Amino acid sequence: MKRLFLFLAVAMVSVVAANAQKFALVDMEYILKNVPAYERANEQLNQISKKWEGEVEALLTEAENLFKKYQSESVFLSDAQKTKSEEAIMNKEKEASDLKKKYFGSEGELFKKRQSLTVTVYYDGIEKGKLTITENDVDHVLLKTIHAARRLLPSLTLPPAFISSRLP
């Protein structure tokens, strides 16, 4: 009988405590889609990306043309000329690969540009979120798309009070 009473008392206290907590779900992707500055930044990034892709494609096309020329003339070339042509083709392909890495690599220009254009938008959103959370006296914040924000901004750090848990 004592165990039943104790169990019911603990259950009632935990139910009351659970009802007293306020939760907030923050969807950064939705917030950012509705911010004009973020859309402008994405448009700039798309334009830059297309320009750089064109540069890389031009180098790859040059390398392909050199290879086709080499294939058609290889019968008539001496060994030294063949070696020289092969090296020219390999150098052009390496140049294209290096340029692609420079622009689109994990530490490339596009990554740096994305960070510089979007970091202020993210921090503005986070600050507005903090303000809303403190105004509404929220106990727990669930960030729906924080993994996307951290992928774009690895240096993004949020105070522990702002993130108590996150969704997968």
pTM: 0.62
* Better-predicted residue by pLDDT, 11 or 71: 71
Written as one letter, the residue type at 61 is T
Residue 137 zone, left/alpha/beta (φ > 0; ψ -120 to 50; rest)? left
In angstroms, the Cα distances linking 137 to 22, 48, 133, 144, 155 are 7, 43, 6, 19, 28
**All residues at 6 or more sequence positions from 157 whose CB lies less than 8 Å from its CB, including other chains:** none
Give residue-wise pLDDT tens across range 55-78.
999 999 999 999 999 999 888 888
What is the C-alpha to C-alpha distance for residues 122 and 83, in angstroms, rounded to an integer?
Answer: 53
Give residue-wise pLDDT tens across range 145-161.
655 555 544 555 554 44
Give residue-wise pLDDT tens across range 109-126.
998 888 888 877 777 777
Q: Six-digit token pair at 85?
A: 């042509």
pLDDT value, residue 138: 74
What is the C-alpha to C-alpha distance for residues 112 and 152, in angstroms, rounded to an integer?
Answer: 10
In angstroms, the Cα distances linking 42 to 4, 22, 24, 103, 159 are 60, 34, 27, 16, 27
